[in-house]
């Protein structure tokens, strides 16, 4: 009898129906007639899985047996979005599934609505990881994604009286049909205790005697490539108490203590930290980081590689890509494994480690660079702290050698800061074979402003890989109308070769194409309108310019600047300076979560909602301005909002947004960008051309210049009457029922500090919005510009990002 893996079911409607009913009956234990909506969704997911299974098993086998190098992507976050549609698309089964469900008397639309997206990330960084694993699978690159299976992902946001209220995201309440738990393959992860040296046949070695441990249980997820028969793996770790530990305490009669210990251990993967771009110095967070990194390294080194593997060849088999500093504790962990467990010499181990890691930096905000107190590190991971000290000593020795007498430089470059904390970005930079920023401007500023000493010390170590987004999810799935139009116009193939969108340039001046393009945008607005009506009871006018700002709420992103524009437009009508019919009808859409502990961000959310309710209810506005703020912005909502947008707001203070990826999603879906010279906006503008991008505001050197001269926001208030009126309107209580205290902190912060210089860019921003109005008044010209945005943004496919990582950093062999 043949022991080959199962074969996929027949890719026909009949084959699908048979497998679906089998899954409903055998998998869920119900008949179609007695099934719940959740049963029907689970059975559908299981059926799609069945089509992927044989390929997955084959790819896992191949990755274990092949002798070539693969990528292990280490990321504390994966903001995956819904899986069902993506997996149907990857397998080419969407139409078959829809027909099969009809044959069962069901509707694919209804069934797919049951899926809860796994929100295992905060925003851009987590979504980037999700785009990257999609592209790696589509390119057929041998790779594995490692992360944490948080029991609770990013909180669910609701508004009560306009204020953010966070609710637990219990995405696993009904189970997840996409995961495969393997408790039998759990790894033991240790913490605490002390180290001691011992004599090993004449060699002094170090032994770590930890004081407690937890189990890391792997949960595997399929990551299918698009139409290529490849399926990679995402392996997320879940914490479980070690049984022995429990029993000892329990047998001693202390049930509560046993439960407490179990709870303590399992807390490690309980919840995603809801911070975005600021580090949270919590012990639990360090536990999370070590937990998933140690499990992942052990998984690769002990299970994926053969047991007799010679570790000196490790760099020929794996590159661990560090997605920000969260997994950097992996550097001393690999050293510990090589030196203490595999008994390699320190120098040999360091040679290997340096080749096995590469580091992606995601920020320019100095406060977002992660540091850990040596105290905490030493308590939780004593051996790792020793290793970090030694790495630092040897590194600083080299610095002293190169720059004799330059004590300042030695201190500046020390991994251990003067106050005794460990600078994780420095550790990653010293250890990594490469360090990359995520957009051209960001990489340049990283070298010049954040890590200049390191750039000088390690010539050639720094590089750039501009971020990208997957066109499968963010064009094909999110925007089926546009996808159809593109395929009808330039043929298939663009989805895996996004540069081919260039061929659309020829059609920008084709009246027929323009009108089809406009019809797609109008249809997308109707889809969004339906979504927001069902989801939130909101109404969207279908003849408005849709002006969208969706992203995490952060002062550097400057949602307040957007708000000042809205208030200015509103004030002009309300005060009678213009009549309502003189303004371009606009609907402003916001989407934004604020970190629960970020008071100013939460107050800004409150202010957006407050301005929205006044503007939306004022009869003088005659419905020509609308402000919509659907709560709980997530990937599922992004897939509806992005294709409907006319205008994409990318208005961060220049030099603060590392790249942005929202900006790419919008441009690829035919929205025009109003934006600063920041992050990947710079590259978008270079590609689409100045005429097709609304640039405003200071560039980074001007920001630096103003900062050094001394920035006084009040000067800008005095210089622009519209600005002072808008701020005065907030202060006067116009948006808070006459209460002058609620939003006073927002206004005071802007007029007295304005750390992100919103007021300095206000006048130019308003002028740019006037150019938006002017172009929008000429629908042919607008549509032409929108088409050129789509045609010229193929560069922002995450497939291209992956190719750049392969060429510049990973040097993994060509893809077969």
Ligand X SMILES: *Cc1c(COP(=O)(O)O)cnc(C)c1O
Q: For residues 584 and 67, give the distance between their C-alpha atoms in angstroms, rounded to a whole number.
A: 62
Q: For residues 694 and 771, give the distance between their C-alpha atoms in angstroms, rounded to a whole number.
A: 8
Q: In 3-state terms, what secondary structure has residue 259? A: helix
Q: How far is the CB of 178 from ligand X (least distance, A)?
A: 19
Give, in order, the Cα–Cα distances in Å from 519 to each of 291, 506, 513, 605. 50, 19, 10, 33
Give, in order, the Cα–Cα distances in Å from 410 to each of 150, 404, 424, 786. 40, 10, 17, 51
Q: How far is the CB of 299 from ligand X (least distance, A)?
A: 29
User: Which residues in 642-671 contact ligand X (CB under 6 A)?
Assistant: 660-662, 665
User: Which residues in 559-588 contact ligand X (CB under 6 A)?
Assistant: none
User: Which residues in 532-551 contact ligand X (CB under 6 A)?
Assistant: 551
Task: Clarify whether 343 is annotated catalytic.
Answer: no
Q: Which residue of 40, 49, 127, 476 would you call a contact of ligand X, by CB under 6 A?
A: 127
Q: How far is the CB of 480 from ligand X (least distance, A)?
A: 18
Measuring CA to CA, which residue among 277, 231, 246, 254 is closest to residue 48?
Answer: 231
Phi, psi (rounded to 5 degrees) for 83: -100, -35
Task: Clarify whether 552 is annotated catalytic.
Answer: yes
Task: Clarify whether 661 is annotated catalytic.
Answer: yes
Task: Clarify whether 194 is annotated catalytic.
Answer: no
Q: For residues 440 and 342, give the distance between their C-alpha atoms in angstroms, rounded to a whole number.
A: 40
For ligand X, the closer CB: 70 or 81: 81
Block residue for tokens 């639309």? 109
Q: For residues 494 and 499, give the distance between their C-alpha atoms in angstroms, rounded to a whole number.
A: 7
Task: Name the segment binding ligand X (CB under 6 A); options: 121-129, 448-456, 689-697, 740-748.
Answer: 121-129
Task: Name the segment binding ligand X (CB under 6 A); options: 26-34, 123-131, 241-249, 762-770.
Answer: 123-131
Task: Clarify whether 270 is annotated catalytic.
Answer: no
For ligand X, the closer CB: 156 or 665: 665
**Given 28, 602, 656, 665, the catalytic residue:** 665
Q: How far is the CB of 517 from ligand X (least distance, A)?
A: 23
Task: Name the segment binding ligand X (CB under 6 A); options: 120-128, 196-204, 619-627, 732-740.
Answer: 120-128
**Given 82, 551, 593, 624, the catalytic residue:** 551
What DSSP state is assigned to residue 325? S
Q: For residues 641 and 652, give the distance between their C-alpha atoms in angstroms, rounded to a whole number.
A: 20
Q: For residues 39 and 30, give the distance between their C-alpha atoms in angstroms, rounded to a whole number.
A: 8
| Residues near ligand X (CB under 6 A), total | 13
For ligand X, the closer CB: 447 or 665: 665
Interacting residues of 310 by C-beta distance below 8 A, sequence separation 6+ = none
> Cα 160 vs. chain centroid, distance in angstroms?
27
User: Which residues in 663-722 contact ligand X (CB under 6 A)?
Assistant: 665
Q: How far is the CB of 129 from ligand X (least distance, A)?
A: 12
Under the binding rule (CB under 6 A), the answer on residue 635 touching ligand X is yes
Task: Name the segment binding ligand X (CB under 6 A); options: 252-260, 315-323, 594-602, 629-637.
Answer: 629-637
Q: In 3-state terms, what secondary structure has residue 279? A: coil
Strand partners, 70: 318
For ligand X, the closer CB: 521 or 554: 554
Q: How far is the CB of 671 from ligand X (least distance, A)?
A: 12
For ligand X, the closer CB: 551 or 586: 551
For ligand X, the closer CB: 39 or 761: 761
Q: Which residue of 47, 176, 634, 798 would you call a contact of ligand X, by CB under 6 A?
A: 634
Exposure of 249 by Cβ count < 10 A (0-12 exposed, 13-18 middle, 19+ buried)? Answer: middle
Vertex 269: Cα angle to 265 and 275 (nearest 5): 125
Write the interaction track for ligand X spanning residues 77-116; mark x where CB under 6 A is met and - where it is not: ----------------------------------------
Q: How far is the CB of 642 from ligand X (least distance, A)?
A: 8
Q: How far is the CB of 127 from ligand X (least distance, A)?
A: 5
What DSSP state is assigned to residue 580? G
**Given 40, 384, 423, 557, the catalytic residue:** 557
Q: For residues 490 and 635, give the distance between their C-alpha atoms in angstroms, rounded to a whole number.
A: 28
Task: Clarify whether 557 is annotated catalytic.
Answer: yes
Q: How far is the CB of 527 from ligand X (least distance, A)?
A: 17
| Number of residue whose CB is nearest ligand X | 662
Alpha helices in 252-381 (DSSP H): 255-266, 283-298, 330-336, 346-356, 374-380
Q: For residues 367 and 28, give the distance between their C-alpha atoms in angstroms, rounded to a whole number.
A: 49
For ligand X, the closer CB: 588 or 743: 588
Is residue 94 within 8 A of residue 231, CB to CB? The reply is no
Q: How far is the CB of 661 from ligand X (least distance, A)?
A: 4
**Given 661, 676, 751, 812, the catalytic residue:** 661
Task: Name the segment binding ligand X (CB under 6 A); options: 108-116, 361-369, 600-608, 631-639.
Answer: 631-639
Task: Name the segment binding ligand X (CB under 6 A); options: 433-441, 508-516, 634-642, 743-751.
Answer: 634-642
For ligand X, the closer CB: 338 or 793: 793
For ligand X, the closer CB: 638 or 760: 638
Q: For residues 471 and 493, give the distance between their C-alpha atoms in angstroms, rounded to a whole number.
A: 12
Task: Name the segment binding ligand X (CB under 6 A); options: 69-77, 104-112, 338-346, 632-640.
Answer: 632-640
Is residue 352 within 8 A of residue 314, CB to CB? The reply is yes
Buried b (16+ CB within 10 A) or exposed e, 660-672: bbbbbbbbbbbbb
Under the binding rule (CB under 6 A), the answer on residue 124 touching ligand X is yes
Give, in order, the Cα–Cα distances in Å from 463 to each of 143, 399, 435, 691, 742. 22, 22, 6, 30, 46
Q: For residues 652 and 676, give the distance between their C-alpha atoms in angstroms, rounded to a whole number.
A: 7
Measuring CA to CA, which residue among 137, 86, 808, 703 is closest to residue 449?
Answer: 703
What DSSP state is assigned to residue 235? E
Task: Name the segment binding ligand X (CB under 6 A); options: 8-16, 457-465, 633-641, 729-737.
Answer: 633-641
For ligand X, the closer CB: 468 or 713: 468
Q: How far is the CB of 154 from ligand X (least distance, A)?
A: 9
Phi, psi (rounded to 5 degrees) for 125: -65, -45
Is residue 143 within 8 A of residue 296, CB to CB? The reply is no
Under the binding rule (CB under 6 A), the answer on residue 55 touching ligand X is no
What DSSP state is assigned to residue 152? B
Give, in order, the Cα–Cα distances in Å from 437 to each of 319, 445, 520. 18, 9, 35
Q: How far is the CB of 121 from ligand X (least distance, A)?
A: 8
For ligand X, the closer CB: 81 or 332: 81
**Given 49, 336, 434, 552, the catalytic residue:** 552
Is residue 72 within 8 A of residue 300, CB to CB? The reply is yes
For ligand X, the closer CB: 55 or 362: 362
**Given 362, 442, 558, 784, the catalytic residue:** 362
Please give the torsion angle defined by the CA atoms of residues 29, 33, 39 and 44, in that order, rounded to the nearest 10 degrees.
100
For ligand X, the closer CB: 23 or 659: 659
Measuring CA to CA, which residue among 379, 323, 385 is closest to residue 126?
Answer: 323
Is residue 214 within 8 A of residue 265, CB to CB? The reply is yes
Measuring CA to CA, which residue among 432, 462, 425 is closest to residue 447?
Answer: 462
Under the binding rule (CB under 6 A), the answer on residue 242 touching ligand X is no
Q: How far is the CB of 792 from ligand X (least distance, A)?
A: 19
Under the binding rule (CB under 6 A), the answer on residue 638 touching ligand X is yes
Would you please indicate which residues are annotated as catalytic (active-site) residues? 362, 551-552, 557, 661, 665
Report the interface residues with ligand X, using CB under 6 A: 123-124, 127, 551-552, 633-635, 638, 660-662, 665
């Amino acid at each position: 009898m043949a022991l080959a893996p199962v074969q996929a079911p027949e890719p026909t409607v009949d084959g699908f129906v048979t497998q679906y009913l089998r899954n409903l009956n055998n998998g869920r234990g119900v008949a179609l007639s007695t099934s719940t909506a959740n049963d029907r969704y689970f059975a559908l997911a299981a059926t799609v899985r069945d089509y992927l299974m044989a390929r997955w098993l084959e790819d896992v086998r191949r990755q274990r047996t092949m002798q070539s190098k693969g990528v292990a992507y280490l990321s504390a976050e994966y903001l995956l979005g819904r899986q069902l549609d993506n997996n149907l698309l990857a397998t080419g089964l969407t139409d078959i599934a829809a027909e099969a469900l009809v044959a069962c008397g069901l509707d694919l639309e209804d069934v797919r609505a049951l899926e809860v997206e796994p929100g295992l990330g905060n925003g851009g960084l987590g979504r980037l990881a999700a785009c990257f694993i999609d592209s790696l699978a589509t390119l057929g690159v041998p790779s594995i994604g490692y992360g944490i299976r948080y029991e609770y992902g990013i909180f669910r946001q609701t508004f009560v009286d306009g204020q953010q209220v966070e609710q637990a995201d219990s995405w696993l309440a009904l189970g997840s049909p996409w995961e495969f738990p393997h408790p039998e393959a759990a790894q033991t992860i240790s913490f605490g205790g002390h180290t001691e040296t011992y004599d090993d046949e004449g060699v002094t070695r170090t032994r770590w005697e930890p004081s407690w441990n937890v189990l890391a249980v792997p949960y595997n997820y399929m990551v299918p490539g698009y139409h290529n028969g490849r399926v990679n793996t995402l392996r997320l770790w879940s914490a479980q108490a070690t049984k022995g530990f429990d029993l000892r305490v329990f047998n001693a009669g202390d049930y509560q203590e046993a439960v407490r210990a179990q709870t303590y251990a399992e807390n490690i993967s309980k919840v995603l930290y809801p911070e975005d771009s600021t580090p949270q110095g919590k012990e639990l967070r360090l536990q999370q980081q070590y937990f998933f990194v140690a499990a992942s390294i052990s998984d690769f080194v002990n299970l994926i590689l053969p047991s007799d593997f010679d570790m000196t060849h490790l760099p020929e088999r794996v590159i661990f890509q560090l997605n920000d500093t969260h997994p950097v504790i992996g550097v001393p962990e690999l050293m510990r494994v090589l030196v203490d467990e595999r008994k390699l010499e320190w120098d040999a181990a360091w040679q290997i480690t340096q080749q096995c890691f590469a580091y992606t930096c995601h920020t320019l905000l100095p406060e977002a660079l992660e540091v850990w107190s040596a105290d905490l590190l030493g308590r939780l991971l004593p051996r790792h702290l020793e290793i970090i000290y030694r790495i630092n000593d040897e590194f600083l020795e080299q610095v002293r050698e190169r720059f004799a007498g330059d004590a300042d430089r030695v201190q500046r470059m020390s991994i251990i800061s003067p106050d005794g904390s460990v600078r994780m970005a420095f550790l990653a930079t010293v250890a990594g074979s490469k360090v990359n920023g995520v957009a051209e401007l960001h990489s340049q500023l990283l070298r010049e402003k954040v890590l200049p000493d390191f750039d000088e010390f390690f010539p050639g170590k720094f590089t750039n890989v501009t971020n990208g987004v997957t066109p499968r999810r963010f064009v094909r799935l999110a925007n089926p109308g546009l996808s159809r139009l593109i395929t009808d116009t330039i043929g298939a193939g663009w989805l895996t070769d996004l540069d081919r969108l260039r061929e659309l340039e020829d059609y920008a001046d084709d009246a027929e194409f323009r009108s089809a393009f406009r019809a797609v945008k109008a249809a997308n607005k109707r889809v969004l309108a339906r979504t927001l009506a069902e989801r939130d009871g909101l109404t969207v006018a279908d003849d408005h310019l849709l002006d969208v700002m969706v992203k995490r709420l952060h002062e550097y992103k400057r949602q307040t600047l957007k708000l000042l524009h809205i208030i200015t437009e509103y004030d002009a009508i309300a005060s009678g300076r213009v009549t309502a019919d003189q303004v371009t009808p606009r609907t402003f859409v916001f989407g934004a979560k604020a970190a629960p502990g970020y008071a100013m961000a939460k107050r800004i959310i409150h202010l957006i909602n407050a301005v929205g309710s006044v503007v939306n209810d004022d009869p003088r506005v005659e419905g020509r301005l609308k402000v919509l703020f659907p709560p709980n912005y997530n990937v599922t909502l992004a897939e509806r909002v992005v294709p409907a947008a006319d205008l994409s707001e990318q208005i961060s203070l220049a030099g603060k947004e590392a790249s942005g990826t929202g900006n790419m999603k919008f441009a690829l879906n035919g929205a025009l960008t109003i934006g600063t010279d920041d992050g990947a906006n710079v590259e978008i503008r270079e590609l689409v051309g100045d005429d097709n991008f609304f640039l405003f505001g200071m560039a980074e050197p001007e920001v630096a210049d103003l900062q050094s001269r001394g920035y006084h926001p009040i000067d800008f208030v005095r210089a622009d009457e519209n600005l002072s009126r808008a701020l005065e309107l907030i202060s006067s209580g116009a948006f808070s029922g006459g209460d002058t205290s609620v939003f006073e902190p927002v206004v005071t912060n802007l007029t007295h500090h304005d750390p992100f210089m919103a007021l300095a860019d206000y006048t130019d921003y308003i002028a740019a919005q006037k150019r938006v109005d002017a172009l929008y008044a000429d629908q042919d010209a607008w549509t032409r510009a929108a088409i050129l945005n789509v045609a010229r943004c193929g560069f922002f496919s995450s497939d291209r990002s992956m190719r750049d990582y392969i060429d510049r950093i990973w040097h993994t062999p060509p893809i077969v």
